[in-house]
Structure 1
Amino acid sequence: MTAPPGHARPPFRIHGNGPIAPISATPQAVTAPNTSRTPANVRHTYGFDKIANQGAGQTIAIVDAYDDPNIESDLNSFSQAYGLPSCVSSTGCFTKLYAAGSQPAVDGGWSLEIALDVQWAHAIAPQARILLVEAKSSSMTDLMAAVDVAVKNGASVVSMSFGGPEFSGQSYYDSHFSATGVTFVAASGDSGHGVDYPAASRMTVSAGGTTLNADAYGNYISEAAWNGSGGGVSSYSSEPSGQTYWPLPYASHRGVPDVSYNADPASGVPVYTSVPYNGQTGWFQMGGTSAAAPQWAALFAIVNAQRTAAGKARLASAYNALYTVGKSSYANYRDVTSGSNGSCGAVCQAAGSYDYVTGLGSPNAGSLVPALVNY
């Protein structure tokens, strides 16, 4: 999917040609599909089950374009199917805001993106509040206005599963990511080698993609670079200070992504939607770096919850912190050393330490979260 100039697209991918479990024609409770990628298994795979805190007191903002009119009820169905805590507006756990003040048009593709983002942020940090801010359109201007609304309404982390090819004037938008104590996470893209914005911003954490190999119980086996993971060397953004800790081959230029997470739709996660996408509803198995961004956002919510409990300020300059704790202990990440996202030589190859396909690697949350809490 290619975004027109000045607009962004949602970088998700669907496994197969349609739902893995369509909505039944007869009313019944929503049941989970037959897949091993349950929230409990994914939390176990990446070590979140080693952490007692699950984001309590923090607000994860999800910024997307257009409207999903059924998102609250679909999130509730997802939560019930997997035994997660309820997250609804009546308890203050879930809030939906229209960035422009009025309800945007409904778009099936963006609705599916919204469902993925909201459900999997909640799956990883089930005690955090979810704030969905819907932009009027997919224009970069409207999406950045939605980012501002998210910050003004108390988000400690903002998940942005959208992007478009970087452009010469992109730094104009960087000011939207300057709020102190707020972490901004951006998906790196799903078209392989290449750099998207806002993932290219020096002020965001860019999340790339892997292909995960785990057993039916969620025990981690291995990861390889996903061939759809966006990444490379920015043509317009300079190197953030965090990356200067590492001997990167293109010093002075921003490397994308910073980190990674399972994003291959073949090893993807279940998402429930009652808004038709290509005329179909139900459970979809989804991937793309759209799946990586909200789960990394959830990790930062957990970090901030623990920092708050310890009397510390919320994490600042998270993109630099990731590199600092990566240098102090390789155990904080699962280094991804195989696979590629193109045929451009070393820049397209996963390798030891940092690379331009998977960044520092995927999270070993049981080690990484405490390191960021103590940063």
Structure 2
Amino acid sequence: MISRQRGRRLRPGVEPLDDRSLPSGFTPSQIAAAYGLGPITLTSPSGQAVAGDGSGQTIAIIGAFHNPNLPADLGVFSRTFGLPDPKLTVVNLAGSQTNAAWASESALDAEWAHALAPGASILMVEAKSDTQTDLMEAVNVARNTPGVVAVSMSWGLPESASQKSLDHLFTTPAGHTGITFVAASGDGGAGKGAVYPASSPNVLGVGGTTLTLDASGGYQSEAIWADSGTGVSRITAEPSYQRSLQKTGGKSVPDVSFLSDPETGVQVYSTPPGATTGSWQVVAGTSLGTPAWAAIVAIVAQGRALDGKPGLDGGSQTLPLLYGLPSSSFNQVASGRVGSLAAGLGTPRGDAVIRGLISIASVSTDLTSTTQTPQTQTQTPPVAPARPVLAAKGPKKVVIVRRKAASQPRPHLAAARWSRLIAQTTARKAAAAASR
């Protein structure tokens, strides 16, 4: 059991749009088509075609505080886009404690994991609070739950040397099917540097892009999202799986990328705790790429199970295999002034990535260029509070901003975009009042 000391607090900064109608963000079918994620066809042992949708696998999502409206919101999202009924299980470690920002985060994560792997079960583990200690306890619950093949973590922390003692939590427990742990690289841009747990050698770190579709809705191009978190870890030595592509001395983050720019975001339905009516939002940030890549992992696990192959452990198998795939398995992302490592391997060409990871029997590799003894202690030292990641269209999404422990949750948004959103919302309300 992780000791309960004063820990790092994390919270997403989300300001939902005021509209009650469906907004203009990308839909599940558009994203699936852009990234080659639908439809995926697998083959059963008897030679029958099987939909590659994550069936038989479980995606765990780690959030904080209880979201009483998540089942209903996920149902609205699924019906709106013609998705199968979701198979959702909630593990509530928070009791009656709620938080509006974290509720928006859990809605995004669950809805888009379901959108891209609609056959997979979703296990929502709600940590008691947003401290590092409580979130890591939730991770431990998820990794010890039978059937979990991917753990999605849309939050991050400033790096500290003490976090090395937590790396073992991002490995597959003995006797469990392989688990890949996925984490957001953050929304603070290159200036914030690498964040944890995306910087762990055992975790797949996901950065962000701006996606452009052509007139027919097909993939056209991508560029690094300016606010995507990127950097070289100060606490994790360069893993062996990265050495063929770089020589940085530490793990570079992210490993891969996905759409994250909230100006070209996706549609999410969310109801704040205590409210009776939800609303549609256009949301993105690296919080979106995290459940999206977890969905890809679930489809890979489904395909490997059909082939009679074992599941993949993230740090020792999934990550080395990804870095070993041909570059044609990924969309190459324009880096601009951000730097060539800011997108990692790139965004997925889904069919190529999935079939590549299914086809290889197994792999095992040393994680780092420097021998490190695995840490077994689970005590977390006292540290300053922080926030995780989530972005709404208009204002800038924030990853980590230090605050006083007693302060109330609030979005930390770029002034220009925030002012524009306030003006737009005020104008809409005035127009609605005038029409009555």
TM-score class, shorter-chain normalisation, is: 0.7 to 0.9
Q: 1:10 to 1:265 in 2, by over 3 A?
A: farther
Does 1:132 pair with 2:124?
A: yes
Map of 1:309-328 to 2, 5 A cutoff?
A: 309-317=306-314, 321-328=318-325
Structure 2: gaps (5+ residues): 1-5, 42-51, 361-436
Q: 1:212 to 1:82 in 2, by over 3 A?
A: same
| Letter matched to residue 271 of structure 1 | V
User: Which residue pairs with 1:345 in the alignment?
Assistant: none
| Letter matched to residue 266 of structure 1 | E
Q: 1 CA distance for matches of 2:9 and 2:348?
A: 27
Three-state SS of the structure 1 residue aligned to 2:207 is strand
CA contact (8 A) 1:116 1:291 kept: yes
Q: 1:12 to 1:239 in 2, by over 3 A?
A: farther
134, 151, 162: which one aligns with 2:155: 162
* Higher Cα radius of gyration: 2
User: Which residue pairs with 1:29 in the alignment?
Assistant: none
Q: 1:198 to 1:302 in 2, by over 3 A?
A: same
Alpha-carbon deviation of 1:245? 2.4
Q: 1:130 to 1:277 in 2, by over 3 A?
A: same
Q: 1 CA distance for matches of 2:207 and 2:316?
A: 14
Alpha-carbon deviation of 1:321? 3.8
Alignment deviations for residues 103-141 of structure 1 (CA, whole Å, 9 cap, x no partner)? 151000000000000000000000000000000011111
User: Which residue pairs with 1:7 in the alignment?
Assistant: 8
Alpha-carbon deviation of 1:327? 4.1
Q: 2 CA distance for matches of 1:162 and 1:7?
A: 12
Map of 1:291-370 to 2, 5 A cutoff?
A: 291-317=288-314, 321-340=318-337, 348-349=338-339, 351=340, 355=341, 357-370=342-355
Map of 1:170-189 to 2, 5 A cutoff?
A: 170-179=163-172, 181-189=178-186
User: Which residue pairs with 1:43 in the alignment?
Assistant: 32
Q: 1 CA distance for matches of 2:215 and 2:129?
A: 40
CA contact (8 A) 2:201 2:315 kept: no
Alignment deviations for residues 284-323 of structure 1 (CA, whole Å, 9 cap, x no partner)? 1011100110000000000000000110001223575445
106, 115, 120: which one aligns with 2:98: 106
CA contact (8 A) 1:13 1:288 kept: no
CA contact (8 A) 1:11 1:190 kept: no
CA contact (8 A) 1:10 1:113 kept: no
Three-state SS of the structure 1 residue aligned to 2:22 is coil
Q: 1:327 to 1:40 in 2, by over 3 A?
A: same
| Letter matched to residue 314 of structure 1 | G
Three-state SS of the structure 1 residue aligned to 2:113 is helix
Alpha-carbon RMSD: 2.2
Structure 1: gaps (5+ residues): 23-31, 88-92, 341-347
Alpha-carbon deviation of 1:244? 1.8
| Letter matched to residue 86 of structure 1 | D
247, 272, 276: which one aligns with 1:275: 272
Q: 1 CA distance for matches of 2:322 and 2:336?
A: 25
Percent of residue pairs identical:
40
Q: 2 CA distance for matches of 1:203 and 1:133?
A: 20
TM-score where L is the length of structure 1: 0.85
TM-score where L is the length of structure 2: 0.73
Alignment deviations for residues 131-178 of structure 1 (CA, whole Å, 9 cap, x no partner)? 000000111111011011112222110000011111121111111112
Q: 2 CA distance for matches of 1:198 and 1:170?
A: 8
Map of 1:175-324 to 2, 5 A cutoff?
A: 175-179=168-172, 181-193=178-190, 194-215=193-214, 217-246=216-245, 248-250=246-248, 252-275=249-272, 281-317=278-314, 321-324=318-321
| Letter matched to residue 37 of structure 1 | F
Q: 2 CA distance for matches of 1:33 and 1:228?
A: 26
User: Which residue pairs with 1:344 in the alignment?
Assistant: none
Three-state SS of the structure 2 residue aligned to 1:302 is helix
| Letter matched to residue 201 of structure 2 | R
Three-state SS of the structure 1 residue aligned to 2:272 is strand
User: Which residue pairs with 1:97 in the alignment?
Assistant: 91
Q: 1:84 to 1:39 in 2, by over 3 A?
A: same
Alignment deviations for residues 313-340 of structure 1 (CA, whole Å, 9 cap, x no partner)? 0122357544544444111101112334
